Structure 1
């Protein structure tokens, strides 16, 4: 590794937060400044389904081809600079990716394998999914780097493991160095989604001077597991306590962030602005990991069809009712297993444009039979076109049904997974499970303190006036992390956000279980809404299937905010 590593600091950068991220990012990171390791996260629940289907059609496929294109451009540069690359771009065919990389040039390539449990799924009680992939930990990556690999290719590992593995290899941590492992896990979680840590998807984005092409993040890791999050000098975006908090609360469950190697206590994280574009992470504590590994199980759930018709001007509700009754009558006996309707009243009164006078009515059908979700859905929609409400037209013509995916989470004992490293010379090194595990117990954090006394005058404004939010998906559940930037505002936020308040502000959650976790150390409250996303992103249960905009919807809802907590307007001479 570089001289920086020998000085006690390990600089780990990220050049990909998902399959499809900025193609030039690998070169930008390699040329932009000093690095020891460059990571890339290419996998998500939906990506595993896409790659699984790719491999069904072509056995040589199943990995992130964009990563191979990046290496084709940058491999020589990485080798010359002594930067080692760790990526989960192997997807469902990591061995295929390793073979393809070896055709590019003389680099030492190691493979981390054992995540693919598809052939054993039935025997392990996971059913018969299209793919079953366990989330492996970081020690296989560490062994690969210790063995001299220039490039480490993995299949399904936890996202943070891409950073934790290099730290283990560099600092020599063992299984019992739980606090250090937890600290590196937090750093890995912060940089895993690329530019989401440097201002991307940031709720206070108007405060960032240049967000056109934000730089990718870097974690400077120290021997005790503490870190500094930064980016290359001169790149756009920003690294602040706010941008780091936003990513820290992204797609988490409660105060215990479970992983294969350590359970990280998010309620122990401390953040500090340590300089321009430098945020220090300290104090993180770790506990023994759970005895089971999470398994991503992806399947084809059936076939899906969708049509959206436009309702313009007057009598919107009556027009929607007429089309629905006509559509159901024309469908006759061809009854899909599931039909849902959604009317989006995006119209305005006395609108100055036709688009602003229009509402959208969407009908979605799902069925195990492609024909039932196809022609039996499409034909009725066409038949009523000239016999329906005035001004009838659709956003797109009705078409064929398409298969949809279903994600479920399974669990298997850590010891049943054959976690292995295949080194560049072909030798295979097994990676045993942790000797010490601890059953995972929910940790919602402290209860809110007593409601603040008389807060004085209040004003009804959007919650986002003072609170940030970041939201996302975890299988069929949606997560919204909320935070405030001033200590004085946190008791108010902690008391405001309850299960009942969430259901009131987000009516879609009214009948669903809601879980609240309070993280006072970072002035945050995490909300999990169970089942909001149905059977996962590929199921497309709602308008925003990954809940990416859910946090912004919540921020837009009006609440009573004490005037004393509002930002003081800047005075201008």
Structure 2
């Protein structure tokens, strides 16, 4: 991991695309577009507004609305964030590319067109379609297509859910064409998270679809920038010393990231000068390892190889990315298929002090007895405690844990979904069965008094598979009324479903480093984890070159299973290394109970898997531990 400071004056005369990430999700801070639009040196503003969760809800909205209905299946928060920035975007001649159109990019584009006109600007708004592939998926299903799940490799005919909508992940070519045809704002639906950066770089540098090295760099840049402040200190495991307690560093307003992409593809990750946070080799490494599947990163436009990447700290808050290798894209792209899963609800009890396991067992027995044969109506029914009681606790809060009873069912009435419609109080329901035993319950019995969560709400199942790019009707709709077809890649490459996976071939004996200290792994190891449907990725890395041999020797697949303990599902775990970053990466296949849309876990996004592993005790060489903890 090269952290030397190198000047970049030799590149100063080169035309560089300066692109800013202004949103990492529908809930991100609205200030970003308004603030970054004031910077005339920024050429393009891009943002990610949709997730697998929002895709399912918006897809359901689109699929079930009546003809002519006003229910709009896109992310209105983008409109709110864009409105105060319009004048500056026009004044500074910036471009904007976003996926906030979700399942209705044309409807959003029409609203944005009116908005820019109302602000007396002549900004030109185009939109991209083709990601909605519901009809193609249904036809392929009728013809026997199995759409094997990417996480579990099982056939979709084992899903037992009726597909209601499907969206394919588009690449950046449509965005590039929109910009080439004069668009100032490009509204997209489900393009890949990094696609706006790929498209903007193709336009700015006039790259061809076959310029795989350059496109791969842009793909990596998009991957690093698309989660906004994740790369400037957000979710960073070194937050204590480098953010929270660091002198002169603002942790309350981490800056939004900026990429400076050169014509060769190499790029710098930096951030707003006027905001807080940090950009270091470690923060960039953490984001690089986030939500990846293996050494190859697939996109509709290109495939990037990650395991040769190198990061260089050129200056404070400036990290150069090199060593990216590009290959042709696969002939397929990812498709997310949404089905209506049913109804879910939950009830919480607070348990304090002694005999926690026995109190849980009493609640479980009484609740199941109340349900009787109705328990067979639940697809999911779990009793999970969160927290533990320390010996001789200092206060009542620390002596209290949360019991969550969580249920899913296809029976809406059973889940109290009709409670607001005047259902009789003696009607059998999940919430009633959970609460009716309180007075014969455990010592100190205390339910959470806000019972709104016990009233069922709809949830959706989400199936992730591969879809052929040549069956996508990818189109650009220009501000002046043209429709331009975007063809699939002329050249593609078939890749095996199983990526390269291996333990270290020559691990060193763990006693090679002498005396050890029994301590949490995370005292010297950084990390990041996340979800891709029900897969969970986990990247762990160290700070110093001499710690690398120890980390790769320690962290085999077998050792990870040992650290997971009760969390080990027994399913497949892939592993690979990025030696230049001192990183070991694991992919825990189908680990997250169907993924964020329908999971029964608190950790629906897999982000806490890393923090769980980092708190596990291991034998750390004392020579490393004595350097100081993270």
TM-score after normalising by structure 1: 0.95
Q: What's 2:150 paired with?
A: none
User: Which range moves more in the overlay, 321-330 or 526-535?
Assistant: 526-535
Unpaired stretches in structure 2, ≥5 consecutive residues = 1-10, 142-146, 148-155, 157-161, 244-248, 417-427
Q: What's 1:337 paired with?
A: 379
SS at match of 2:414: helix
Work out which structure has the larger RCO, using CA pairs closer than 8 Å and 6 or more positions apart in sequence.
Answer: 2
SS at match of 1:448: coil
User: Which range moves more in the overlay, 207-216 or 184-193?
Assistant: 207-216
SS at match of 2:476: strand
The reply to whether residue 503 of structure 1 matches residue 561 of structure 2 is yes
Q: What's 2:284 paired with?
A: 244
Distance 1:32 1:425, change over 3 A: closer
User: Which range moves more in the overlay, 498-507 or 367-376?
Assistant: 367-376
User: Which range moves more in the overlay, 506-515 or 475-484?
Assistant: 506-515
1:88-132: CA deviations, max 9, x gaps? 110000000000011112321111110011233211336742321
Q: What's 1:384 paired with?
A: 437
1:403-451: CA deviations, max 9, x gaps? 1121111222110101111111111111111122111234436641422
2:394 to 345, 352, 377: 352
The reply to whether residue 411 of structure 1 matches residue 466 of structure 2 is yes
Does the aligned pair in 2 maintain the 1:41–1:159 contact within 8 Å?
yes
Distance in structure 2 (CA, Å) of the matches to 1:92 and 1:5: 41
Distance in structure 2 (CA, Å) of the matches to 1:294 and 1:482: 26
TM-score after normalising by structure 2: 0.87
Distance 1:188 1:317, change over 3 A: same
Q: What's 2:47 paired with?
A: 40
Q: What's 2:411 paired with?
A: 369
Does the aligned pair in 2 maintain the 1:448–1:491 contact within 8 Å?
no
Q: Give the CA deviation at 1:396.
A: 3.9
Q: How does 1:385-534 map to 2 (within 5 A)?
A: 385-398=438-451, 399-441=454-496, 442-444=498-500, 447-453=503-509, 454-507=512-565, 508-534=567-593
1:23 to 30, 33, 42: 30
C-alpha root-mean-square deviation of aligned residues, in Å?
1.9
Unpaired stretches in structure 1, ≥5 consecutive residues = none
Does the aligned pair in 1 maintain the 2:44–2:96 contact within 8 Å?
yes
Does the aligned pair in 1 maintain the 2:507–2:552 contact within 8 Å?
no
Distance in structure 2 (CA, Å) of the matches to 1:199 and 1:504: 30
Q: Give the CA deviation at 1:560.
A: 0.8
The reply to whether residue 229 of structure 1 matches residue 288 of structure 2 is no
The reply to whether residue 103 of structure 1 matches residue 158 of structure 2 is no
User: Which range moves more in the overlay, 324-333 or 87-96?
Assistant: 324-333
2:140 to 124, 129, 148: 124
1:77 to 88, 96, 104: 88
Distance in structure 2 (CA, Å) of the matches to 1:170 and 1:31: 20
Does the aligned pair in 1 maintain the 2:503–2:557 contact within 8 Å?
no
1:172 to 201, 206, 209: 206
1:272-318: CA deviations, max 9, x gaps? 00111100011210111111111111222111121121222222222
Aligned length: 567
Q: What's 2:181 paired with?
A: 147
Q: Give the CA deviation at 1:69.
A: 1.5
The reply to whether residue 94 of structure 1 matches residue 105 of structure 2 is yes
Distance 1:324 1:60, change over 3 A: closer
The reply to whether residue 62 of structure 1 matches residue 120 of structure 2 is no
The reply to whether residue 297 of structure 1 matches residue 337 of structure 2 is yes
SS at match of 1:386: helix
SS at match of 2:429: helix
Q: Give the CA deviation at 1:54.
A: 4.4
Distance in structure 2 (CA, Å) of the matches to 1:7 and 1:495: 43
Q: Give the CA deviation at 1:33.
A: 5.7
Distance 1:264 1:567, change over 3 A: farther
Does the aligned pair in 2 maintain the 1:334–1:376 contact within 8 Å?
no
User: Which range moves more in the overlay, 171-180 or 359-368?
Assistant: 359-368
Q: What's 2:313 paired with?
A: 273
User: Which range moves more in the overlay, 513-522 or 238-247?
Assistant: 513-522
Does the aligned pair in 1 maintain the 2:38–2:92 contact within 8 Å?
no
SS at match of 2:345: strand
Q: Give the CA deviation at 1:162.
A: 0.9
Q: Give the CA deviation at 1:32.
A: 4.4
Q: What's 1:114 paired with?
A: 130
Q: Give the CA deviation at 1:74.
A: 1.1
User: Which range moves more in the overlay, 267-276 or 307-316?
Assistant: 307-316
The reply to whether residue 561 of structure 1 matches residue 620 of structure 2 is yes
Does the aligned pair in 1 maintain the 2:61–2:73 contact within 8 Å?
yes
Does the aligned pair in 1 maintain the 2:79–2:112 contact within 8 Å?
yes
SS at match of 1:121: helix
